[in-house]
């Protein structure tokens, strides 16, 4: 683990995976997750020549909390990490709750992003024309209701959640997490996320489920690929469709038979696309 100190003297915990001499790719984890979350078979990174860079969002794992943070604030944190690692332009991608945070960096620092990918990403809570919780599972609907009531309500809501294990998941997601290689990765990644407490999770829920992002996805100008599973009830596919309709540089990949956890199987193709330097059609 490497520690990056921000201008406001916070610590960001950073991890690297794969080929140290490979193409740097910055990955933004889902919620509640940590810098230990990534595609579970590291041989993929070596095969593609990827130097995967992950980090704990504020309040998760070993990163300092940032009370009141919004999604847009992730942009400066990614920039601080890139500066510390000597990165100029690079691809960035995020999964689920990490998708909006990856979008924030692409929106604010387009000159530093070659390509942007998201897998099962949320749309903004104030998305015009989107019934935000339609088709969403009960657990996330409760989180969304708490987030609209404010940070304190989110903290009270999460205090009732059992953090000794992953939150309850629909059957289609349980089947994915039951794969040995995924279970061996995601359990420690979750444990590390909540090890210091629930502040990071509560801040993520508040920022993602109840607060304006602080930027407009329609302003993203870099090449974008969005992936979404048609059976996703954690982040319903309408979220991906809304984003694709508003980001003019975006292509949406729909996988009708996949749930939220289908993002693991979609990651190899996403990484290959992120590394592709050929001109876009």
169-193 pLDDT tens trace: 888 999 998 999 999 999 999 999 9
pLDDT tens digits for 217-268?
999 999 999 999 999 999 999 999 999 999 999 999 999 999 999 999 999 9
Instruction: Work out whether strand 11-18 and strand 90-95 pair parallel, antiparallel, or are unpaired.
Output: unpaired
Average pLDDT over residues 2-16: 98
Note the pLDDT of residue 185.
97
Note the pLDDT of residue 167.
72
């Amino acid at each position: 683990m490497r520690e990056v100190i921000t201008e406001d003297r916070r610590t960001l915990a950073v991890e690297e995976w794969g080929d140290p001499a490979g193409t740097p790719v910055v990955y933004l984890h889902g919620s509640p997750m940590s810098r230990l979350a990534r595609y579970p078979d590291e041989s993929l990174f070596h095969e593609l020549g990827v130097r995967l860079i992950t980090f704990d969002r504020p309040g998760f794992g070993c990163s300092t909390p940032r009370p009141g943070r919004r999604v847009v604030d992730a942009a400066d944190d990614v920039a601080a990490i890139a500066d510390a690692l000597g990165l100029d332009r690079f691809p960035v991608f995020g999964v689920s709750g990490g998708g909006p945070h990856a979008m924030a960096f692409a929106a604010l620092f387009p000159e530093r992003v070659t390509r942007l990918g998201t897998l099962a990403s949320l749309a903004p809570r104030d998305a015009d024309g989107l019934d935000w919780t339609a088709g969403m599972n009960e657990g996330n609907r409760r989180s969304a209701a708490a987030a609209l009531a404010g940070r304190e309500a989110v903290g009270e809501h999460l205090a009732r959640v059992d953090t000794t294990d992953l939150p309850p998941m629909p059957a289609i997601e349980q089947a994915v997490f039951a794969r040995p290689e995924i279970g061996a990765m995601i359990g420690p990644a979750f444990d590390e996320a909540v090890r210091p407490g629930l502040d990071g999770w509560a801040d993520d829920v508040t920022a993602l489920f109840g607060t304006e992002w602080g930027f407009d996805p329609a302003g993203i100008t870099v090449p974008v690929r969005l992936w979404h599973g048609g059976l996703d009830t954690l982040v319903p596919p309408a979220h991906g469709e809304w984003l694709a309709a508003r980001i003019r540089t975006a292509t949406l990949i729909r996988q009708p038979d996949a749930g939220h956890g289908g993002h693991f199987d979609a990651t190899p193709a996403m990484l290959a696309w992120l590394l592709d330097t050929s001109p876009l059609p």
